[in-house]
Copies of this chain bind each other. A is one copy, B any other.
Amino acid sequence: MIAGVVGATGYAGAELVRLLSGHGKIDRLVLSSVSFEGGHIEDVYPNFLGRISMSLGKAEDVIAAAGVVFSALPHGVGEPYAHTCFEKGIPFIDLSADFRFGNDEAAFSAWYGKPYTYPKLRDHTVYGLPELNRNRIKELASSGKVIIGNPGCYPTGASLGAFPALAKGLPAGGTTIVIDSISGVSGGGREPSRSFHFPECADAVSPYKVGSHRHTPEIARNFAAMSGNENSPAIIFTPHLAPMNRGILSTIYIPLSAQWRAASTETAIRPPSNEIEQQTAAIRALYTDFYRNEPFVRVLPEGVTAATNRVRQSNYCDISVHLDHSGSTLIVCTAIDNMVKGAAGQAIQNMNIIFDYEERTGLEHIPALF
C-alpha cells in the first residue's frame, strides 16, 4: 500500500509521516507541500535524517500515486483533492474541519467562514471518531467511496469522556455540561506567532477564545449523536494553553440525574463520604464496561488520575472518573496526545478500519512517562 500525505510539512502532516513510516502495512509514502515543494522532508525536519528521506511534490502527484490519501492542509483548501480522490475511489482522510460537519454547511460556514465547494461529498462522509462511528466507517469503506472528517483534538478528548454518561442517560434533564480543557502548544501548529513565542507562553497558563472556540459546535454534535438529539445537553467549552509540547487534559462536569447521584445526608461541605466513593466506583465500572472493546481508551482504576504524560506519544485516551464533593456532579478527566489520538494517530486508526487492518497497527506506542 502506498499512502499519500498532502500538506506533509505542518506539524500534523509531519506526525503522519513519522507514524506511517513505522506502519507495517504501508510500503511507501508520497508527500506534498506547498511551502517546501521541490524540497525534502528531512530538510524541513532534520530529526528524520537517515530514516525518512522523501521529496516533496504536488498534491496532484500524491493523489496519482497513493492508495489512501491523508490531507493535513488548512481548513477550506482541501475539498478539490477530496473530490478527485472520491471520483477515483481512493479513501480520503482529512485532518481539517472541512468534513466534520456533514450536511450542516451552515454551522461550518458560520465558524470557518467558507461555504462548501462540493456539498454533495458530504453524503459519503463520516466523522472519524471510531468509538462513535466505527460501523459507519466500515460501511462507507465497503461501498468503495469514503471521506473521513478526522476529529478535532479538543472534541476527541471531550467526547470520549462524556460518551458513556450520555449513552447511559446519566445527565440530569436540561443539563449544561462544562468542558474545561488545557492544551500543549503544538496544537497551535508550526507557524511562529506571538502567542506561541517561547517567552510569551513558557512558565505561564492562559485561557483563549473563551466562549468562541470553533471546536464548540463539533463537541455539541458529538454529544447529540451519542445522547440522541432530544436529550442533547447544552455545553460550554473553554480551552487553555499550558507550557508543554503535547497533550490535552479535559475536565468535564456532568450534572447527574437524581438516580445517579450519591445519596448524601450531609448538607455541609465535607470530604468525600463512603457513599460517594461507592457511587464513583459504580460509574467507573459503567465506563469500563462501555469501552471494554476499545483498543485505545483506558478507563483508569481508582487512585489513578488522567494526566497528559501518561499518554505521551501514544494513541491512548485515558479517562478517570470522579464525583464532586456533594455527589451530584460527575467529573470526568481525559488525557490525550493532541498530535496522536488528537490528530495523526486517529487518522491512521481510521485508515486501519477502512482497510480492515488490525486497528492497533502502527499505533502500538507505549507511553513514555517523560
Contact = CB atoms under 8 A, between A and B. Distances in A.
Interface of A: 11, 14-15, 18, 21-22, 45-52, 106-107, 110-111, 176, 178, 180, 182, 184-186, 188, 190, 192-194, 196-208, 210-212, 214, 216-217, 220, 234, 236, 238, 240, 242-247, 249, 251, 253, 255, 268-272, 276, 298, 300-301, 304-313, 316, 320, 322-326, 328-329, 331, 333, 335, 364, 366-370
B205 A329 contact: no
B243 A202 contact: yes
Contact of A180 (B216, B251, B271, B323): B251
24 contacts: A18-B366, A18-B368, A47-B368, A49-B304, A107-B268, A107-B270, A111-B271, A186-B370, A196-B199, A198-B201, A199-B370, A204-B309, A205-B242, A206-B308, A206-B335, A210-B322, A211-B272, A211-B323, A212-B272, A234-B326, A242-B243, A243-B243, A246-B370, A313-B368
Q: How many copies does the complex hold?
A: 4
A218 to B, nearest CB: 9
Contacts of A242: 182, 205, 242-244
Contacts of A111: 270-271
A316 B46 CA distance: 12
Contact of A46 (B216, B310, B331, B370): B310
Contacts of A11: 199
Given A192-B192, A211-B272, A306 B203 contact: no
A363 B247 CA distance: 24
A214 B269 CA distance: 10
B368 A308 contact: no
A236 B238 CA distance: 16
A202 B106 CA distance: 39
A307 B205 contact: yes
A251 to B, nearest CB: 6
Nearest to A244: B203
B369 A47 contact: yes
**Among the interface residues A244, A323, A326, A370, which one has the most CB atoms of the partner chain B within 10 A?**
A370
Contact of A51 (B107, B320, B328, B366): B366
Contacts of A240: 182, 249, 251
**Among the interface residues A204, A269, A305, which one has the most CB atoms of the partner chain B within 10 A?**
A204
Nearest to A297: B50
A236 to B, nearest CB: 4
B48 A366 contact: yes
A253 B45 CA distance: 27
Contact of A212 (B210, B271, B306, B368): B271
Contacts of A192: 192-194, 196-197
B198 A310 contact: no
A185 B206 contact: no
A369 B308 contact: no
B366 A21 contact: yes
A269 B304 CA distance: 35
Given A49-B300, A200-B369, A217-B270, 16 more contacts: A21-B366, A182-B205, A182-B240, A192-B196, A199-B369, A201-B309, A204-B247, A206-B305, A206-B306, A207-B333, A210-B251, A210-B305, A211-B276, A211-B324, A236-B324, A243-B244
